[in-house]
Amino acid sequence: MNISILKFGGSALKTLQDFRNAAYHIAHRVANYDEHIVVVVSAMAGETDAIMSKGSELNLHASGSSRDCLMAVGETMSAALMAFALENEGLMVRVLNGLQCGIHSDDNFCHANVERVDLSDIFASLQNGNIVVVTGGQAATEDGRITYLGRNTSDLTAAIFAEHLGSREFEVFSKVPKIYSADPHIIPSAIAFEEISLKQISAASKLGTKAVHQGALEIAKKNRLRILRRDINDSEISTGTVISSDTEGDGAIVVLDEHAGLIRFWNTKSFINAENSLNQRNIKHYPFTDNGTFYISITDRGVNTQQTVSELDLEGQILEEKSMVALVLPGAKIETHVVSRYDSIKTARLVHDKYYNLGKRHRAVKSNSIDV
């Protein structure tokens, strides 16, 4: 069976016309290429934040279980709207939420860990000719409670399906289908990549880039899956950047995550303890050293750094006036620079332009470079 996994991110689902365009494209593929399709959807752009703000007005300290129930609303609405659009194209559709999709997790609410996957129900639905639409980033505990895998985890859902349904690739639809050498809003001279290696983009993801979720990249590396970043505009499809284990380019990526929380640690013990605590909570972060000092950058957008340090009793100092600028070189070697927030954009531009102006012969700063 030829199974394709299509993930539509929030930026690709801003309007009802976006749903119509996606449904038209899917109907065309089913009619012309005999594909069996699983559609993974994120919440519409801005919807999750709007929903969660309503919950915060009622209770700032709601339980994780309650938060996950509310968090699931955005993807559930997207899945239903996608089903409406697909049915309008004459397709048979089955919609599955986190309780039904076959992904089972622990009860670490808001950042649940996948423990077991059983997609036999999805496989049967595909065999019966259904387009299967799944709410991204959701799972369920063994006792039937809905869980959330974390912010921006629809990619992870798509990767899990590709792995367990035997697909060799999955497609990520976004209004920004290209991956750039830096954020073009910050660095206008950023270069778009046609292809990039899984290893290099995985390293950049650990630092806070949002091109593809880190967990999805790990699954792709393990199974040698290709990731195709795409866009649909007026029912016309275009391919942006192809991410593959078979690609080894010579470009570098500059990462400046202005939203990341930076923590400094004074000794190895407190640094390692913090690492272990963050790993146990499945909180996305990046540990590094700069000029002999230990740092951790909290790159998880759904996490409040101040609250995390307090709750986990981390023995570190939050550096509110500092940022990390990183350069991810070919082969995924990373250079890090801790600078003042005031100088962070200027530093990122200098690092980027220095690399590319040197004709891609940048010499690594050995004092703060590590392999990943």
The Cα–Cα gap between 3 and 294 comes to 45
What was the pLDDT predicted at 358?
Answer: 46
pLDDT greater than 90 at residue 304 = no
Segment 115-132, tens digit of pLDDT: 999 999 999 999 999 999
CB 102 within 8 A of CB 67: no
Question: Which tokens hold the place of 164?
Answer: 């367990």
pLDDT greater than 80 at residue 371 = no
pLDDT greater than 90 at residue 98 = yes
Top CATH class of 3-175 equals alpha beta
DSSP line for 37-83: EEEEEPPPTTHHHHHHHHHHHH-TT--HHHHHHHHHHHHHHHHHHHH
Share of the chain above pLDDT 70, in %: 95
CA atoms within 13 A on the CB side of 262: 24
| Burial class of residue 57 in the structure, from the number of CB atoms within 10 Å of its CB (0-12 exposed, 13-18 middle, 19+ buried) | exposed
CB 142 within 8 A of CB 114: no
The beta strands (E) that lie in 189-284 are given as 192-193, 195-197, 226-233, 236-244, 253-256, 261-265
What was the pLDDT predicted at 364?
Answer: 36
pLDDT greater than 80 at residue 162 = yes
CB 305 within 8 A of CB 318: yes
Phi, psi (rounded to 5 degrees) for 240: -90, -95
What was the pLDDT predicted at 361?
Answer: 42
Count CB atoms within 10 A of the CB of residue 119. 20
CB 329 within 8 A of CB 364: yes
Closest CA to 198 of 221, 223, 176: 221
Mean pLDDT of 267-286: 92
With cut-offs at 50, 70 and 90, classify the pLDDT of residue 151.
Answer: confident
Averaged pLDDT of the chain? 91
Closest CA to 242 of 155, 189, 169: 169
Mean pLDDT of 227-237: 84
With cut-offs at 50, 70 and 90, classify the pLDDT of residue 233.
Answer: confident
What lies within 8 Å, CB to CB, of 15 at 6+ separation is none
With cut-offs at 50, 70 and 90, classify the pLDDT of residue 301.
Answer: confident
Share of the chain above pLDDT 90, in %: 80
What lies within 8 Å, CB to CB, of 370 at 6+ separation is 288, 289, 333, 334
CB 260 within 8 A of CB 324: yes
What was the pLDDT predicted at 250?
Answer: 83
What lies within 8 Å, CB to CB, of 219 at 6+ separation is 156, 159, 160, 162, 163, 225
Segment 310-322, tens digit of pLDDT: 999 999 999 999 9
Segment 242-269, tens digit of pLDDT: 999 888 778 999 999 877 899 999 999 9
What was the pLDDT predicted at 235?
Answer: 62
What was the pLDDT predicted at 317?
Answer: 96
What was the pLDDT predicted at 365?
Answer: 34
pLDDT greater than 70 at residue 369 = no
Quote helix, strand, coil % in the chain, to nearest 5. Answer: 35, 30, 35
The Cα–Cα gap between 351 and 201 comes to 18
With cut-offs at 50, 70 and 90, classify the pLDDT of residue 234.
Answer: low
Closest CA to 245 of 282, 200, 275: 200
Which residue bears the tokens 């700069």?
Answer: 290
Count CB atoms within 10 A of the CB of residue 316. 18
What was the pLDDT predicted at 118?
Answer: 96
Mean pLDDT of 307-336: 93
What was the pLDDT predicted at 372?
Answer: 35
DSSP state at residue 265? E
**This prediction's pTM:** 0.87
What was the pLDDT predicted at 255?
Answer: 95
Count CB atoms within 10 A of the CB of residue 169. 16
What was the pLDDT predicted at 368?
Answer: 40
Question: Which tokens hold the place of 271?
Answer: 């640094």
**What is the DSSP pairing of strand 285-290 with strand 293-298?**
antiparallel
What was the pLDDT predicted at 284?
Answer: 86
Mean pLDDT of 40-53: 95
Least confident of 9-13, 126-130, 197-201, 299-303: 299-303
Query: What one-letter code names the amino acid at 80?
Result: A
Domain ranges of the chain: 3-175, 253-371
